[in-house]
């Protein structure tokens, strides 16, 4: 885990000021991250400009991610004005893109854009979370089209996991991801489960899965990890924040 850079202490958030980078279309990250907030910490959002939220097919999803890469620098520049101590990515598709090498390149890209601050990405957090459970075989759910699902499978396969199954909800726009009912999310987790699957993982930060994943963990008796929960956990632990947070599954409660 990258460690936060030293910066002047803020009275209301002496432990960490997180610069949170999210697509302008995202309405779930800030809410779920707020639910998991601990004392002495603050989240400060830089929103990435999006001109077209369509995700209705592979081509539009690729175009959407190109928009993100082209405009993300502006979001980072704006959030840096509050002197954050660390950068957290409230988006995940781009962090998986290009497999293992692409994920590392994106981390390096974000560190460069942020002036060498430490950074937590979704891919990085997912790997660290799964490693806590010594998981080998996993099931995955996403809101993505097929091209996005393949990038996620490639990443996990290349870092040593066996992917039993991935199930994409094929949401048609970046905003409609937030409209998916938690019961649909829970059913998706059931679809990718099997007796020999060690853990279940969810990608797509605008999918409201933090509480649904915690409920499924109890139902299935195995780790069920929401990307937003993993990202918060990773950012906290990378900054020496060891608080346990209840209600979002064993990762934040026990690790």
Higher pLDDT, 8 or 160: 160
Same structural domain for residues 153 and 208?
yes
Would you state the pLDDT for residue 246? 97
For residue 99, tell me if it sits in a domain: yes
Structure tokens at 178: 């937030």
pLDDT confidence tier of residue 10, bands split at 50, 70 and 90: confident
Same structural domain for residues 139 and 176?
yes
Would you state the pLDDT for residue 107? 95
For residue 9, tell me if it sits in a domain: no
Give the total number of structural domains in the chain.
2
| pLDDT, tens only, 174-221 | 999 999 999 999 999 999 999 999 999 999 999 999 999 999 999 999
Domain range for 243? 16-121+229-248
Same structural domain for residues 84 and 164?
no
For residue 141, tell me if it sits in a domain: yes
Same structural domain for residues 152 and 114?
no
For residue 53, tell me if it sits in a domain: yes
- This prediction's pTM: 0.95
For residue 7, tell me if it sits in a domain: no
Average pLDDT over residues 136-157: 97
Same structural domain for residues 199 and 241?
no
Domain of 51, CATH number, reads 3.40.50.12500
Q: What is the dihedral of CA 255, 88, 182, 221, to 10 degrees?
A: -20
Domain of 136, CATH number, reads 3.40.50.1860
Q: Given a cut of 60, is residue 6 above it in pLDDT?
A: no
SS3 state at 171: coil
- Contact criterion met (CB below 8 Å) for 21 and 46: yes
Look up residue 125 and give its DSSP letter.
Answer: H
What residues pair up with 166 in beta bridges, in sequence order? 140
Phi, psi of 45, rounded to the nearest 5 degrees: -95, 135
């Amino acid at each position: 885990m990258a460690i936060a850079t030293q910066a002047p202490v803020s009275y209301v958030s002496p432990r960490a000021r997180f610069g949170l980078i999210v697509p302008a279309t995202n309405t779930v990250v800030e809410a779920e991250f707020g639910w998991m907030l601990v004392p002495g910490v603050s989240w400060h959002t830089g929103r990435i400009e999006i001109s077209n939220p369509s995700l209705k097919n592979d081509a539009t999803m690729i175009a959407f991610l190109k928009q993100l890469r082209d405009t993300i620098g502006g979001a980072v520049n704006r959030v840096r004005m509050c002197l954050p101590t660390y950068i957290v990515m409230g988006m995940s598709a781009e962090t998986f893109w290009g497999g293992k090498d692409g994920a590392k390149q994106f981390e390096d890209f974000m560190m460069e854009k942020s002036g060498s601050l430490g950074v937590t990405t979704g891919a990085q957090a997912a790997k660290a979370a799964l490693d806590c459970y010594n998981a080998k075989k996993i099931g995955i759910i996403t809101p993505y089209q097929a091209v996005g699902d393949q990038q996620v499978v490639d990443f996990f396969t290349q870092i040593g996991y066996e992917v039993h199954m991935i199930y994409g909800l094929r949401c048609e726009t970046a905003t409609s991801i937030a409209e998916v009912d938690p019961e649909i999310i829970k059913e998706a987790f059931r679809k990718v489960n099997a007796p020999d699957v060690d853990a279940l993982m969810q990608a797509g930060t605008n999918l409201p899965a933090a509480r649904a994943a915690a409920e499924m963990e109890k139902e299935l008796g195995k780790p069920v990890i929401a990307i937003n929960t993993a990202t918060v956990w990773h950012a906290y632990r990378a900054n020496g924040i060891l608080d346990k947070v209840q209600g979002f599954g064993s990762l934040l409660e026990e690790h």
